[in-house]
Amino acid sequence: MATPTQPVAVVCVGMAGSGKTTFMQRINNYLHLQKTKPYVLNLDPAVLKVPFQPNIDIRDSINYKEVMKQYNLGPNGGILTSLNLFATKIDQIIALLEKRANPPPPDASSTKPVATTAPPPKHILVDTPGQIEVFVWSASGSILLESLASSFPTVIAYIIDTPRTASTSTFMSNMLYACSILYKTKLPMILVFNKTDVKDAEFAREWMTDFEKFQDALREEESRGVFGGEGSGGGGSGYMSSLLNSMSLVLEEFYAHLSMVGVSAMSGDGIKEFFEAVEEKRQEFERDYKPELERRRKEREEESAEKKKDDLTRFMRDMKMEGRGKETAVRGDAPVDVSSEEEEEEMDPEDYPDAEREDPDITLRKRYEAALRAGKIDGDEAAAQNAAVRGMRMS
């Protein structure tokens, strides 16, 4: 169970080309400079080279190209299948993380010299594939995130390419995607506007906090015909501007639950503010998200227990059905009456011709003789079966 001293897991997700891996390198380097070495996981099986040293690398256990070859898959299918295979080891991964986060105390009674170990990490950094939908919307991605969140405070860092988000339409697309990730993962989220060395992210902060600023930008783009309008007066597409206007109203409440930071993975600007936001989200996780996770875990356990109970009931009912036709069941020396349903059912000799009150060997021999007369079995087989019947009688 997570405690305030547990390391916080920072899961970096983002569109391809958003600078996610470079951002991972920057925050890893920042923590090393702060003398707080993180524990790093790489979950991208298709990357050829990472600019940081991961403690756990999916490429060590999963060969991405071999998966594509064996299962006849494309690039995205290969990544998804690799993640699915890696998710089967999630219990081992969580065990390693918990052991690293909570090392056993030294044995005072031991005479052996105590080996010096590194202090427990304060952060667990997780790099994910560039195909964001493969990780966020797959079953393996959900398993990995839920397993992390069940043991450690977990924060989603959604990396956004700031220069490509300068228009109102691309900005709104990123916000809608961030909204879907937030409600899919149900974990605290930080919007990380990367590449601020190319374009300042202050416009995004204004659009998220000031509705009028976004409306002004929308009208300005509409007047320039950004949305494909025709005519000398500009105007643009009324449908597109109306949709963006409606989305901005809908997402106003969504913005209130997000932290937003502008960073530059190249220069390192804003990294300190990012970790301040991570600490805020850790507290939010402990206060708001952890009770919800505990409630959902309890519901799953209750459902599992109820399912086991139902399975046991069906099994006992099936066992009882196998004993139908008996009038009593004996437990110890005392006879116990069976159910009234079984008492009402009586065996009809006409329905069961084999249930005659005579020697079973004689009955079996009669059946073989009848079959022989009917020509259903040949003489050799009949002789063998009659010999078998005689042998049964002698025994």
Q: Give the pLDDT confidence of 318-344 residue by residue, as tens digits.
A: 777 666 545 444 444 444 444 444 444
Beta strands in 173-294 (DSSP E): 189-194, 259-262
Q: Give, to the nearest 10 degrees, the angle between helix 139-151 and helix 90-101.
A: 20
Hey, which residues does 189 pair with through a beta bridge? Answer: 156
Residue 128 identity (one-letter amino acid): T
Residue 18 lies in a domain: yes
Is 127:42 a contact under the CB 8 Å cutoff? yes
- Give the tens place of pLDDT for each residue, 347-379: 555 554 544 455 555 665 666 566 666 654 455
- Does residue 127 form part of some domain? yes
Segment 32-53, tens digit of pLDDT: 999 999 999 999 999 989 999 9
Structural domain includes residue 65:
yes
Would the pLDDT of 187 be above 70?
A: yes
Range with lowest mean pLDDT among 4-13, 144-153, 218-227: 218-227
Please name the amino acid found at residue 162.
T
Q: Are 77 and 69 in contact (CB under 8 A)?
A: no
C-alpha distances out from residue 363 to 57, 79, 357, Å? 71, 67, 10
Residue 269 has pLDDT above 70, yes or no: yes
E strand or H helix at 391: helix 379-394
Average pLDDT, the chain: 80
CATH code where residue 30 lies: 3.40.50.300
Q: Which residues lie closer than 8 Å to 332 by C-beta, 6 or more apart?
A: none
Tell me the CA distances in angstroms from 117 to 39, 40, 279, one per residue in order.
14, 17, 25
**pLDDT(31) > 80:** yes
| Dihedral angle sign, alpha carbons of residues 221, 222, 227, 228 | negative
Place of tokens 């998200």: 289
CA angle (265 as vertex; 263, 269 as ends), nearest 5: 45
What pLDDT does residue 367 have?
65
Query: What local confidence, expressed as pLDDT, does residue 62 receive?
Result: 94
What pLDDT shows up at residue 80? 92
Q: How far apart are CA 273 and CA 86, in angstroms?
A: 33
> How many residues are there in the chain?
395
Tell whether 332 is covered by a domain.
Answer: no
What does the pLDDT average to over 275-297?
Answer: 86
Q: Residue 38 and residue 7: Cα distance in Å, rounded?
A: 9
Percent of the chain surpassing pLDDT 70: 74
Instruction: Let me know: does 165 contact 198? Beta carbons within 8 Å.
Output: no
Let me know if 195 is exposed, middle or buried by CB neighbors in 10 A (0-12, 13-18, 19+): buried
Rounded to the nearest 5°, which phi and psi values hold at 350? -70, -30
- Determine, yes or no, domain membership for 312: no
Domain that holds residue 291: 8-102+120-224+245-296
pLDDT of residue 2: 42
Q: Is residue 163 a part of any domain in this protein?
A: yes
pTM tops 0.85: no
The answer to the question of residue 128 being in a domain is: yes
Identity of residue 84: N
Looking at the structure of the chain, the number of domains it has is 1
The model's pLDDT over 195-244, given as tens digits with 9 standing for 90+, comes to 999 999 999 999 988 888 888 898 888 888 777 655 434 444 567 778 88
